[in-house]
Amino acid sequence: MATKILRQNGCEEVVEATDNTVAERLLKTQSMDVAVIDIKMPGGMQLLRTAIRLTPLLPVVIFTSYATVKQAVQAMRLGAVDYVVKPVDANDLLTAVHRALERKRVFDPVSASQIETKTGFGELLGTSRAMQAVFDQIRRAAPFKSTVLITGESGTGKELVASAIHSLSDLSKGPFVAINCSALPIDLAESELFGYEKGSFTGATHPRRGLFEAAHEGTLFLDEIGDLEMQVQTKLLRVLEEQKVRRLGATQSINVNVRVVAASNVNLTTAVKMGQFREDLYYRLNVIHIPVPPLRDRKSDIPLLVRVFAERFAEQNGIAPVEIADRCLDRIAEYDWPGNVRELKNAVERLMIYTADRNLAIGEQDIESILPIVRPDDSESQRPDFVPRRLDDVEREMILNTLAHTSGNRTQGAAMLGISLRTLQRKLIQYGVPPQKT
């Protein structure tokens, strides 16, 4: 039925597969613009996974039914670009295929270097629906000078999002200045951001401009904004409102034309409720909000990312590209990657280094020897009392147990955990622990 509809409406070459084996062979041997898969057929979901693994940039449209909407949602999460409900309506099918063809035009051709050029976002890569939503938000935000708040876990690429916004904006010819607020010493944060005059404090032997002045006519990216002290937050709010900075020790303000993009991996609304972050500053920053999804929520992007990272490493180090086996990509995609894209990139680099002396395809044994993937045959996983847990849950439990041991003394707790009090306070905000009563 679908084949007939497509042929009658201008699709010149429509190839129909009688079973999954034929479909896989076609995916491997023929160049296609769109794949249409009926996930209600036996092995339909597995064929979808195979198609995404073999051809990560091939848009896939699925057939489903009203009774299997949950399956459709699962298929979209795996990487399908659209779905059509059965019985098939000709208009619905043609609309879905035309949208998929437009998507194909955006990402064709498919070499790793060209993928980066075609996305328009450099290292910020992904063809999943989750990343397409991020790209759309970047395009919408870029033309305006409004502040942007980027949220997401560590390693998801928040700075890349900020850089993409800058590169597409009217300020792209100006500087892009990035600073991690958690790395700013408490007693120097104000002078680093706003600058100082000679003699404003001991050691100020000459005037120095701050980061706002350095970013004039450009973009200032404030990463981990939640780590700024309250006093600095107050001054930052004033600068955002007035577009003027006053150096420490100065009597006159300096006009600056700076777009501020901020990022946080902690929940700032929770920090506001706990009195750790100014509510007015939060709303001033949160004019445009761009959440960046963790890698576990866009696993269909993993084969593409692995391929790009491997090709880029080979090119940078003057070695021949190495083929990565399909099963190897499956193994990589099984892992949740708590360190997100940053962790994946480092793992691919290790993999390339450890196999650089061979001209063979990277196999499953290579992956299992260096990546932290729990395999079904691991003896530990076979123990009845073994329960896999997320790293965040383990860390939260360790922090709470330590504070219980110190009777809630956070200074002692931070010392026992080997972290600063400031870091401990930030993690408590992240895990929703209420502030201490005074």
Q: Which residues have CB under 8 Å from 255's CB, separation 6+?
A: 243, 244
Mean pLDDT (10-residue bins), the chain, 438 residues: 77 82 86 84 85 77 71 73 80 80 52 44 76 88 94 92 91 93 82 88 85 95 92 94 91 94 93 91 96 92 86 83 75 87 90 72 72 47 50 76 79 77 78 65
Tell me: do 356 and 408 sit in the same domain: no
Tell me: do 210 and 303 sit in the same domain: no
Tell me: do 310 and 203 sit in the same domain: no
∠ Cα 374 377 378 (to 5°) = 55
pLDDT of residue 80: 79
- Provide the domain count of the chain: 4
pLDDT of residue 216: 95
CATH number of the domain residue 333 falls in: 1.10.8.60
Tell me: do 155 and 279 sit in the same domain: yes
Tell me: do 222 and 151 sit in the same domain: yes
pLDDT of residue 373: 47
Instruction: Give the HSE-up count for residue 146: Cα atoms under 13 Å, Cβ half-sphere.
Output: 16
pLDDT of residue 380: 42
pLDDT of residue 239: 95
- The Cα 394–Cα 265 span in angstroms is 18
Asked whether residue 151 is assigned to any structural domain, the reply reads yes
In a 10 Å sphere around its CB, with 0-12 CB exposed, 13-18 middle and 19+ buried, how is residue 352 labelled?
buried
> Could you tell me the pTM of the whole model?
0.64
Asked whether residue 112 is assigned to any structural domain, the reply reads no
Beta-bridge mates of residue 290 = 150
Tell me: do 196 and 166 sit in the same domain: yes
- The Cα 172–Cα 219 span in angstroms is 8
CATH number of the domain residue 266 falls in: 3.40.50.300
